[in-house]
Amino acid sequence: MPTLLTARVSAAAHIALPHANPLSVQQVADMISFIAHAKPITALDVGCGPGALTIALATKCSARVLGIDISEPFLERAKLASMGLAMLGNADFMNASPLSLRNETFDAILCVGSSQAIGTPIEALSWCGDRLSPGGLLLFADLTWRRRPEPRFIEFLGVEESLYWSEDHEVSVFADAGLRVLQIERASPQAWKAYEDAVFEGSQRFAARLDPEEGAHVLARANAWKTAFDAYGANCLGFTAYLATQTGGGGGK
Ligand SMILES: C[S@@+](CC[C@H](N)C(=O)[O-])C[C@H]1O[C@@H](n2cnc3c(N)ncnc32)[C@H](O)[C@@H]1O
């Protein structure tokens, strides 16, 4: 699917959702409050999507929060949502890829469901760890394995099983990146099912507005993911969020 259409589908599919990940609003609010409490001055939200996390952090503390994404439809929604809001800090949104940023550091980094903006989840973790100011806080979230996946699901995803870590290895993966996990939040199966249902319905609504050929393509992809997620993904995938800080020992890089 062309990149622009992918971005439009994703933004449209999430239109009725507060953020583009399967965590609950409460889980996100709690983790953002934790970071706000540390009073960061600068923060980066990698792959900010609709901007909910950038805005929440800038609302709760006096940080300058930069949300970056390469999806214009998501960035438009983020800018609109932040307009006129009373914030303790400020939220800026920019069309940029993290790898194009100068080599600066941030007191807080959010990377929620956005590893692909950097590389594999392990590469993204290392990148984020390298850009944290001393004592800074990282909110990192991505897919994880709750159980070993069926080979057919791996084939469907077209990835190596090792792309995602298993929950048994999560603390050591962070330690290898020089990070100490402070808190873990997992998307509940119910919240994730509700999220998937809403994304599927959003994709269907968007497909109905496209020309028939494009619409059929979007619908086929949405159906294929729904079938695979219901049959396999729901049994083995997790979506896990980690609050972490540097170990102070320089890590294992
Ligand atoms: C699953 S969404 C998560 C959005 C947001 N963090 C949230 O939780 O609501 C992943 C986001 O990463 C963005 N993304 C993908 N590749 C990117 C890149 N190279 N640079 C910046 N953002 C990227 C996508 O456009 C999308 O908005």
- Whether pLDDT at 250 is above 50: no
What CATH code is assigned to 3-245? 3.40.50.150
Q: What is the pLDDT of residues 35-61, one digit of tens each?
A: 999 999 999 999 999 999 999 999 999
DSSP for 58-73 reads HHHSS-EEEEEES-HH
Domain ranges of the chain: 3-245
d(CA 37, CA 24): 20
pLDDT for res 96: 98
Our CA angle for 93, 95, 100, nearest 5°, is 115
Ligand 1 contact via 68 beta carbon (within 6 Å): yes
Residue 131 has pLDDT above 50, yes or no: yes
pLDDT one-digit tens code per residue, 148-206: 999 999 999 999 999 999 999 999 999 999 999 999 999 999 999 999 999 999 999 99
**Residue in the block written with tokens 């972490």:** 244
Determine the atom of ligand 1 nearest the C-alpha atom of 98: 20
> Is the distance from the beta carbon of residue 51 to the nearest atom of ligand 1 less than 6 Å?
no
CA–CA gap between residue 186 and residue 21 (Å, rounded) = 11
Could you tell which of 24, 79, 114 is best to mutate to test the pocket of ligand 1, judged by most ligand atoms within 8 Å of the CB? 114
Would you say 20 and 116 are in contact if contact means Cβ atoms under 8 Å apart? no
At residue 130, does pLDDT exceed 80? yes
Q: Which atom of ligand 1 is nearest to the CA of 97?
A: 20
User: Cα–Cα distance between 116 and 211 in angstroms, integer?
Assistant: 29
Asked if residues 241 and 139 have their Cβ atoms less than 8 Å apart, the reply is: yes
pLDDT at residue 150 in the model = 97
Residue 110 has what DSSP assignment?
A: E
